[in-house]
Amino acid sequence: MSTNTALPDVLDDSDVSRRDRLREQHGAKAPLLALAGGVLLLVSGLLSWSYDDRILGDISIRFYPAGIQIYAMVLGLVAVVLGVLLRRRPGWLNPGRGLAAVGWGSLVFVVVALVTIARQAGGSININEGGWVALVGALLVFAAGFVAQRFELNVRTWPRLPGWAEILVIVVLMAVLLFTTAYTLGLDDSWTFVCLLVTLLSVAIALVGSGFGEYVGFVGGNNRRVLLLAAFLVAFLFPFTQDGSDANMSIATQILIFAATALGLNIVVGLAGLLDLGYIAFLGTGAYVGAMLSQSTFATIGWKPPFLVVMLCGMAVASTFGLIIGSPTLRVSGDYLAIVTLGFGEIFRLAMFNLDGTNGPDLTNGPNGIPAIPDLNFFGWDFGKVHTVAGIPLGRFSNYYFLLLLLIAFVILVFSRLNDSRIGRGWVAIREDERAAEAMGVNVFGLKLLAFAIGAALAGLAGTIKAHQDTSVTPDQYIFLESAFLLAAVVLGGMGTVAGVLVGATILKLLPEKLRDAADYRLLLFGLLLVIMMRFRPEGLVASKRRQLEFHEDDEELVQLAQTEHLEEAK
């Protein structure tokens, strides 16, 4: 079946843009360009890129690819595969869109690599032949992606594989995810990390744009329980890939705490549509409760209950604060609610400074906070010691990682159950149109207050674990910028979804850790990322089809997919 969408003859040249004319004239060359560019990228991985083996890893050796040489070969391989598929034009794939993503990604990747080599080696004269061959290959793939967009998909019929084959696809994808995650966290050089990130993003976007991504979603939809089990198994096995190192596990635990807190905020913002700019205060409430009831010599409360009781106390206190703050403030909405919650976040931080025994009750030790919080000990399992499991040492952060996995599982369960319940549908109705929801009999104020209370409770629960993992709690940890990053994780990942928030939290916590060379430009890069997202994908990285329709109402393909998704949910 041909998927060539040539323009009708009735259109005059004046009605056709220059870009479309170029695509019509040279569209048939797209497979050849893709193959040529892909082969050049593959060849460049076998050549030397720089004479200095200290730049971007050891990329000076020929016929022994490493680092960015391997990344170039991956991009070349994807370009070759898409070029072959474009020539054969299968009815259920759209390789033209994928080539466009690989073209952009290859070009950005090669430019970043060459600029880095030139800057660190003292000029572009020090770039070896591999870099220039890669640049020519990237330009060819970019040109192929530009002209290949004339080939559009007419009909998609997803082939159904046997059950065991679909499960095998999920297992292979999860194994690739585990390996890629472990390899990514193992990179120390910032610019090598950037090159890998560009490669992974371009390949991922290419697969999604070509139709592979939706096919994986189709397979995952047929095996949801298997997919969920495989995802948690991959997360569980991750510490066993670190060989006892705590460097990457420290980052992983911070990501999990951040993600658990962001999921709680997702209830308030993503489901109920309430803009909360002071949500970090609830995490701080749980952390201070955990610190004050801990075994620390600086703890200000004499009661030392078991940690399970401490977790419940942290949830209860944070939820109470949510009710206290929500009762008067939820009478307003929109910008006014954002301003009030912003004020609450600052009031909490300043209150923690003043509860030092001089300006108020002696509860928090003021700006000094509560240090020397001991590690947890569950049934003889000391979280501060190294434990050996299956011959692999698991350090302190690995121990907290497993506990935080249980926390994430609990938060996801709560979020999913609420989202699928009448309460969740009431929140969505309030988010869409508060007046219409109230006219239909929805208890608007009560559901708003419940969203605040539940979201605060989940953040307080995460805070109690954070206090022990960090070994100290101070007011400076809970500034407004942290609330802004939590909100950005929800918006960036996709409001109202679990996977989206996990992706957003991972990106916003991982990038600052790996891009320490660009620490001075952190906020600038953060702002540019949000601007780009709002321009090209305002619904978030991982958004439901119904959410996408709010921003892309004219996309007929999305309408059909959203209707299919709605029918599946109804079943």
Give the pLDDT confidence of 319-377 residue by residue, as tens digits. Answer: 999 998 888 877 777 778 888 889 889 999 999 999 887 877 888 888 889 998 999 98
Q: How confident is the model at residue 6 (pLDDT cuts 50, 70, 90)?
A: very low
| pLDDT for residue 542 | 79
Amino acid letter, residue 445:
F
In the chain, list all ranges with CATH 1.10.3470: 243-531
Across residues 79-104, what is the average pLDDT?
83
Q: Which residues lie closer than 8 Å to 88 by C-beta, 6 or more apart?
A: none
Pick 384 or 245 by higher pLDDT: 384
Number of Cα atoms under 13 Å in the Cβ half of residue 336: 7
Which is more confident, 556 or 168?
168
| CA distances from residue 361 to 371, 405, 426 in whole angstroms, order as listed | 18, 36, 41
Q: How many CB atoms lie within 10 A of CB 557?
A: 12
> Tokens 């121990």 sit at which residue?
399
Rounded CA gap, 276 and 281, in Å? 11
Which pLDDT does position 411 carry in this prediction? 92
Q: State yes or no: pLDDT of 154 exceeds 50.
A: no
pLDDT tens for 113-134 read: 999 999 888 888 889 999 999 9
pLDDT at 157: 59
Give the per-residue pLDDT at 553.
Answer: 54
**Inter-CA distances, 109 with 85, 195, 307, 541, Å:** 23, 6, 48, 21
> Where is average pLDDT lowest: 1-10, 254-263, 536-545?
1-10
Predicted pLDDT at 561: 55
Q: For residues 247 and 548, which has the higher predicted lDDT (pLDDT)?
A: 247
CA gap 415, 446 in Å, rounded? 18
CA angle 281, 283, 289 (to 5 degrees): 100
Would you place residue 57 in the very low, low, confident or very high pLDDT band (cuts 50, 70, 90)?
confident
Write the CB contacts of 59 (distance below 8 Å, at least 6 apart in sequence). Answer: 48, 49, 50, 53, 66, 67, 68, 69, 130
pLDDT digits (tens, 9 = 90+) for 541-556: 877 666 666 665 555 5
Given a contact cutoff of 8 angstroms between Cβ atoms, the answer to whether 133 and 42 are in contact is no
Q: According to the model, what pLDDT value does residue 308 have?
A: 92
pLDDT mean over 378-405: 87
Q: Quote the CA–CA distance of 59 and 53 in Å, as a whole number.
A: 6
Model confidence at 17: pLDDT above 60: yes
Residue 230 has pLDDT above 60, yes or no: yes
Q: Enter the DSSP assignment of 67.
A: T
Mean pLDDT, residues 214-238: 85
For the cut 80, the answer to whether the pLDDT of residue 398 exceeds it is yes
Q: Say yes or no: domain 243-531 is CATH 1.10.3470.
A: yes
What is the pLDDT at residue 102? Answer: 93
| Residue 128 tokens, joined | 């070896």
Query: How confident is the model over 69-78, as a mean pLDDT?
Result: 95
pLDDT in tens, 522-542: 777 778 878 888 787 777 887
Whether the predicted pLDDT of 296 surpasses 70 = yes
Predicted TM-score (pTM) of this structure: 0.84
Instruction: Write down the pLDDT at residue 22.
Output: 56
Q: How many CB atoms lie within 10 A of CB 160?
A: 11
Asked if 337 and 274 touch (Cβ cutoff 8 Å), the reply is yes
Position 189 scores a pLDDT of 84
Give me the residues paired with residue 388 across strands: 393
Distance of alpha carbon 391 from alpha carbon 406, whole angstroms? 23
Determine the average pLDDT of the residues in 287-314: 90
Residue 144 confidence (pLDDT) above 80? yes
pLDDT at 15 over 50: no
To 10 degrees, the CA torsion angle through 195, 200, 202, 207?
160
Per-residue confidence at 7, pLDDT binned at 50, 70, 90?
very low
Taking the CA atoms of 490, 491, 496 and 497 in sequence, report the sign of the dihedral they define: negative
Instruction: Please state, in angstroms and rounded to a whole number, the distance separating the CA atoms of residues 342 and 344.
Output: 5
Give the tokens for residue 123: 């000029």
DSSP string computed for 330-341: TTS-THHHHHHH
Checking if the pLDDT of 32 tops 80, the result is: yes
